[in-house]
Structure 1
Amino acid sequence: MVVKCLNLGEVRDNIDRLDRQIVPLLAERAGYVRQAAGFKQTKAAVVDQARIEAIVLKVRHMAMEESCDPDVIERIYRSMIDAFIIFESKEWMHIHDAKE
């Protein structure tokens, strides 16, 4: 729930509070992404376009349920997924001791 802030400092304090919650969740997500790399037989399997589109559709619906702009959430998620694809590709290379 978003509380009414009385000044910019309060807004920033609340954003900082949320960031302290978001970063550990992203770190946890990264741990699962790392595990996913181990289950994939090829580096090409790291990019699963159908899974990406399913995630985007799901989070767009979640955004609407929260009265949030689904386009903003989609952009955030696509950027995050792109970053995790790079991360997972590196993990895949490390796990499978492959050379690029």
Structure 2
Amino acid sequence: MTTYTSDERRHTAETAASMTDVRYEIDRIDRLLVEIIAERQSFMDAAARIKGDRNIVHDRARIEDVVAKVKAECPKHGLSPAIAEPVWRTMIDRCIAYEFASYDALRLPAKVKS
């Protein structure tokens, strides 16, 4: 199980009093996002291993399902859907490209991999 690391949170958006405070928190959050996105990426490797057909790597219905779920979470957390949707669509697009590469790498003959 992944345990995320983080520097200590020093401020909230309401208590930050300087740009130094804001930048510290943004940098702290960005480091956490890298950890979380890396974990998400690891599941692209799992999907590439599990899926038996390259044609199902790109699944339009699943993409729309993921985006709909993300948008449904936005109001609960105060995240603008205008930020969330394009971020997730870009991430999904890049994850699909990664999964295609992972899928192909797993299935190349051993002699070609060398």
- Structure with more relative contact order (C-alpha pairs < 8 Å, separation 6 or more): 1
Equivalent residue, structure 2, for 1:39? 50
Same amino acid, percent of matched pairs? 31
Q: Is the 8 A contact 2:16 2:22 kept in 1?
A: yes
Q: 2:96 matched to 1:85?
A: yes
Equivalent residue, structure 1, for 2:17? 6
Richer in helix (by share) = 1
Q: 2:72 matched to 1:56?
A: no
Show structure 1 runs of 5+ residues with no match.
none
Equivalent residue, structure 2, for 1:19? 30
Show structure 2 runs of 5+ residues with no match.
1-11
Highest CA radius of gyration, 1 or 2? 2
- Give a deviation string over 1:10-66, Cα, whole Å, max 9, x none: 111100010111111111111111010111122221111111101000000111111
Question: AA paired with 1:49?
Answer: R
Q: How many residues align?
A: 99
- Alpha-carbon distance between aligned partners in 2 of 1:61 and 1:30, rounded to the nearest angstrom: 22
Q: CA RMSD in A?
A: 1.6
- TM-score, L = length of structure 1: 0.90
- Alpha-carbon distance between aligned partners in 2 of 1:23 and 1:3, rounded to the nearest angstrom: 24
- TM-score, L = length of structure 2: 0.80
- Alpha-carbon distance between aligned partners in 1 of 2:29 and 2:14, rounded to the nearest angstrom: 13
